[in-house]
């Protein structure tokens, strides 16, 4: 399991098809190895607390986090509160969003005894790594990062903040402070893993290694998400900002009302054809994810039930799947003191890890006075 993905000396603007195929192949190898050697891996993942988590988060990442945790993989889960302000003028309902997301995590099965949940702003030593890391990348390299480029092109009249420009380096610090060697991502996020890998390699080349002779930072691998992309109820990308989501914590009635308004088409025959019938196929996919079935089989069984029959099935499937999660979530949300206690304990664990890593960095940089 020592195979690594080669990266170019300069950070690339895009991930090539060859790099994508290597990442997919590497992910398959890791998936096979995790079931028998979970102790070899540490995962870093997380979310920005910009709103309430929805079923896209659940099927796209949360359920997989719980699966890896239960296999015995140590998971570091960052609530990226500092990242809320990289493209915003304020934090909004930050406290509410953090506690809401934490309730979602715990209700979905994240166990704070097995996974470490922490907030960016609480781990000082993590953020201190930004200074040496920033010295290892150039401004043109940061400007070529796809996330930074999108911010520039989508907001031409808004000056880019320094935090937005250095966002890829902040993500690298998230990954490397805890020496995570796995980061679950989609295709679009592969350039961020490349930044972390380049920083790890350049630190080793410039400052040397730890006392045992090993690189201080591992070069992390991307773990490509096996979950299909889930569209919002309007047929576009599911997004909190677009208001087209079903929140994990919604009631059964709220879920039913939203699905009733979901976009379909006029054909009565239900088929699973994501290219030509994306909205109908998305609802079929949701039913499959909620029931554990196969999309094609579900479409065949629905036959000529039309959009109404499809929406009825999706409503029943989602509400049945999320009923125990929502019941547990209601209990957790009613006890904010417990949620804050979980977060304090996670912050303490993350801080201990970060301080140890920072001590190693200072030693390598001859700054341990």
Determine the 3-state secondary structure of 205 from DSSP. Answer: helix
* 299: Cα separation from own chain's centroid: 30
* Contact partners, residue 261, CB within 8 Å, separation at least 6: 233
Residues paired with 222 in a beta bridge: 183
pLDDT digits (tens, 9 = 90+) for 137-175: 999 999 988 888 888 787 777 888 899 899 999 999 999
Q: Assess whether pLDDT exceeds 80 at residue 17.
A: no
pLDDT at 346: 98
Cβ–Cβ < 8 Å for 272, 281 = yes
pLDDT, position 13: 56
User: Which pair of tokens denotes residue 308?
Assistant: 């109404």
pLDDT bracket for residue 203 (50, 70, 90): very high
Cα gap 208→40, rounded to integer Å = 24
Predicted TM-score (pTM) above 0.75: yes
- Alpha-carbon distance 196 to 30, whole Å? 19
Angstrom distance (rounded) from CA 273 to CA 27 = 27
Nearest alpha carbon to residue 326 among 272, 251, 264: 251
Q: Which two tokens stand for residue 182?
A: 């796995």
Average pLDDT taken over every residue of the chain:
90
Q: For the chain, what is the largest distance between any 2 Cα atoms, rounded to a whole number of angstroms? A: 75
3-state secondary structure of 185: strand
Strand order in the sheet with 42-47: 115-119, 74-79, 42-47, 182-185, 221-224
Q: Retrieve residue 107's tokens.
A: 């209700």
- CA 47, CA 38: separation in Å to the nearest integer? 23
- φ, ψ dihedrals at 42, nearest 5°: -130, 125
Per-residue pLDDT tens digits for 294-347:
999 999 999 999 999 999 999 999 999 999 999 999 999 999 999 999 999 999
List, for residues 47-80, the tens digit of each pLDDT value.
999 999 999 999 989 999 999 999 999 999 999 9
Taking Cα atoms as reference points, which of 70, 199, 80 lies closest to residue 141? 199
The 10s digit of each residue's pLDDT in 210-251 is 777 889 999 999 998 767 778 888 888 887 777 788 999 999
- For residue 49, the model assigns a pLDDT of 95
State mean pLDDT over 262-271.
Answer: 93
pLDDT of residue 5: 32
Angstrom distance (rounded) from CA 107 to CA 285: 23
For residues 83-97, give the mean pLDDT. 88
pLDDT tens, position by position, 112-138: 999 999 999 999 999 999 999 999 999
Q: How far apart are CA 105 and CA 223, in angstroms?
A: 20
Output b/e per residue, 55-72; b: 16+ Cβ within 10 A: bbbbbbbbebbbebbeee
């Amino acid at each position: 399991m020592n195979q690594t993905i080669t990266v170019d000396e300069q950070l690339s603007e895009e991930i090539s098809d060859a790099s994508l195929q290597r990442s997919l192949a590497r992910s398959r190898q890791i998936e096979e190895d995790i079931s028998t050697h979970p102790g070899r891996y540490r995962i870093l993942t997380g979310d920005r607390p910009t709103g309430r988590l929805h079923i896209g988060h659940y099927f796209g990442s949360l359920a997989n986090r719980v699966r890896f945790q239960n296999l015995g993989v140590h998971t570091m889960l960052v609530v990226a509160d500092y990242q809320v302000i990289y493209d915003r003028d304020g934090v909004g309902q930050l406290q509410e969003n953090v506690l809401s997301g934490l309730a979602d995590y715990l209700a979905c099965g994240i166990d704070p005894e097995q996974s470490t949940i922490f907030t960016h702003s609480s781990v000082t030593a993590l953020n201190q790594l930004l200074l040496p890391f920033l010295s290892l990348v150039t401004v043109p390299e940061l400007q070529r990062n796809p996330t930074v480029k999108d911010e520039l092109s989508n907001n031409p009249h808004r000056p880019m903040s320094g935090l937005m420009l250095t966002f890829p380096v902040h993500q690298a610090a998230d990954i490397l402070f805890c020496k995570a060697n796995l980061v679950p991502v989609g295709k679009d996020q592969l350039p961020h893993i490349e930044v972390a890998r380049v920083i790890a390699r350049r630190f080793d080349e410039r400052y040397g290694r730890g006392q045992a002779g090993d690189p201080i930072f591992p070069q992390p691998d991307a773990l490509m998400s096996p979950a299909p992309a889930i569209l919002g109820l309007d047929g576009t990308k599911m997004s909190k900002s677009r208001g087209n989501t079903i929140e994990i914590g919604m009631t059964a009635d709220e879920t039913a009302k939203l699905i009733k308004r979901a976009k379909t088409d006029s054909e009565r025959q239900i088929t699973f054809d994501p290219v030509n019938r994306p909205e109908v196929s998305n609802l079929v996919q949701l039913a499959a994810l909620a029931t554990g079935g196969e999309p094609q089989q579900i479409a065949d069984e629905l036959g000529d039930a039309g959009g109404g029959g499809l929406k009825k099935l999706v409503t029943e499937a989602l509400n049945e799947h999320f009923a125990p999660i929502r019941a547990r979530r209601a209990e957790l949300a009613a006890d904010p003191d417990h949620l804050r206690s979980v977060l304090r304990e996670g912050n303490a664990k993350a801080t201990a890890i970060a301080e140890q890593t920072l001590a190693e960095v200072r030693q390598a940089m001859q700054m341990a006075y």
